[in-house]
């Protein structure tokens, strides 16, 4: 019994040391000027497109409500966790105008941010099946930082002594263009165009007259595309790509392949370049309700640690249909 307790205590101590080192790298070394603050990432982004591209609003032709929870690097204290709730719907009989609402809550270490945005889109038919939508996103987000959750390796740091950050508000404006037909989609967007500096107002001014700040919101550029192939009457195949560019950070590329079987069961796999492999499964419970699950396994050194059990996503989507537009076959995006 004594040996088991000692072993568990040692593992717990190692875990705390590892987590502290991770948080120090993320927050302490970059605490005065984090240049490449990035948006939350999703493996099942293809079912959560409205959160990254306002042009998607109303594109499904029905009111669509999606909830998603992501737990990243499960087993690491302070690892990222994200909850997303989105709603989008077409307005009017011609479906040219779309409206959407996005609420995203993102936590990592001592920080948490809540984003709330309203999305507007206008759609122009450019061919028999093709439609081009222009989208605008407007809103803001609140930042909280609790420095007491970090252990200080050096006492007397002015950033830690200046107090926590509570509900620091920053405005948000974004744009997006989204083209889609029954089989193909292509989107380009920047959901946050304002490069906001989160200042620590109580900190002293540096010798070069520049104020200390916690993070700088960088513009995230997204490119998404995919195509649906009918392999048979009961099997559809959709390869898809998401690219995210943030200046000052590595280019992120997600490549995925999904199968839709009998218009009900969705099976897929994805690879996030130099980051992770993913598996996805989804089920169309009814015309209105769909559920999905995804699991990521890191390919970096972080994935080799015994304290990282991978990343998980759970997604639910509910759609409201009118009597005359009930879904005959579920659209794959």
Residue with tokens 């396994």: 297
Looking at 32-36, 186-190, 204-208, which range is the least confident one?
A: 32-36
Judged on CB neighbours under 10 Å (0-12, 13-18, 19+), 316 is middle
Percent of the chain with pLDDT over 70: 73
DSSP state of 151: P
The reported pLDDT for the residue numbered 72 is 87
Percent of the chain with pLDDT over 90: 49
* Among 174, 220, 171, residue whose Cα is nearest residue 196: 171
The reported pLDDT for the residue numbered 259 is 97
Whether the pLDDT of residue 34 is over 60: the answer is no
The helix/strand/coil state of 208 is: coil
pLDDT single digits (tens) 182-197: 999 999 999 989 876 6
Entry pTM: 0.79
If phi > 0 it is left, if psi is from -120 to 50 it is alpha, else beta; for residue 147 that is: alpha
Secondary structure (DSSP) of 135-158: EEEEEEEEEEE-GGGSPPSSTT-H
CA dist., res. 189 & res. 192, Å (int): 9
Whether the pLDDT of residue 26 is over 50: the answer is no
CA dist., res. 240 & res. 226, Å (int): 4
CA dist., res. 282 & res. 324, Å (int): 26
Average pLDDT over residues 313-329: 74
pLDDT single digits (tens) 275-297: 889 999 999 999 899 999 999 98
First to last CA, the chain: 54
CA dist., res. 287 & res. 59, Å (int): 17
CA dist., res. 69 & res. 80, Å (int): 11
Average pLDDT over residues 232-244: 95
Average pLDDT over residues 120-147: 93
Looking at 6-20, 49-63, 130-144, 172-186, which range is the least confident one?
A: 6-20
Whether the pLDDT of residue 2 is over 60: the answer is no
3-state DSSP helix/strand/coil percent for the chain, to nearest 5? 15, 50, 35
Look up residue 88 and give its two tokens: 């989008």
The reported pLDDT for the residue numbered 326 is 53
For the chain, the C-alpha Rg in angstroms (whole number) is: 22
CA dist., res. 252 & res. 284, Å (int): 29
């Amino acid at each position: 019994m004594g040996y088991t307790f000692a072993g568990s205590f040692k593992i717990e101590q190692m875990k705390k040391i590892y987590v502290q080192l991770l948080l120090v790298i993320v927050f302490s070394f970059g605490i005065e000027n984090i240049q490449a603050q990035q948006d939350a990432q999703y493996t099942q982004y293809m079912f959560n497109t409205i959160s990254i591209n306002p042009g998607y609003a109303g594109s499904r032709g029905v009111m669509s409500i999606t909830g998603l929870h992501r737990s990243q690097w499960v087993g690491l204290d302070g690892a990222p966790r994200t909850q997303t709730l989105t709603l989008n719907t077409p307005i009017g009989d011609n479906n040219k105008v779309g409206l959407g609402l996005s609420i995203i809550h993102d936590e990592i270490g001592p920080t948490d941010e809540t984003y709330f945005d309203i999305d507007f889109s206008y759609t122009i038919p450019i061919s028999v099946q093709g439609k081009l939508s222009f989208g605008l996103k407007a809103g803001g987000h609140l930042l909280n930082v609790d420095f007491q959750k970090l252990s200080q390796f050096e006492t007397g740091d002015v950033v830690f002594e200046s107090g926590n950050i509570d509900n620091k508000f920053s405005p948000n404006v974004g744009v997006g263009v989204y083209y889609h037909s029954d089989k193909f989609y292509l989107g380009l967007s920047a959901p946050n165009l304002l490069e906001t500096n989160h200042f620590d107002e109580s900190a002293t001014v540096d010798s070069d007259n520049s104020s200390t700040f916690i993070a700088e919101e960088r513009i995230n550029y997204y490119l998404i595309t995919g195509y649906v192939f009918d392999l048979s009457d009961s099997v559809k195949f959709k390869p898809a790509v998401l690219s995210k560019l943030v200046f000052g950070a590595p280019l992120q590329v997600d490549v995925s392949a999904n199968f839709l079987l009998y218009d009900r069961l969705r099976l897929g796999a994805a690879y996030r370049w130099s980051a992770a492999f993913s598996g996805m499964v989804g089920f169309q419970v009814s015309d209105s309700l769909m559920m999905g699950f995804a699991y990521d396994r890191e390919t970096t050194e972080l994935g080799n640690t015994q304290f990282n059990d991978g990343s998980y996503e759970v997604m639910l989507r509910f759609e409201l249909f009118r009597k005359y537009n009930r879904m005959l076959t579920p659209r794959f995006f």
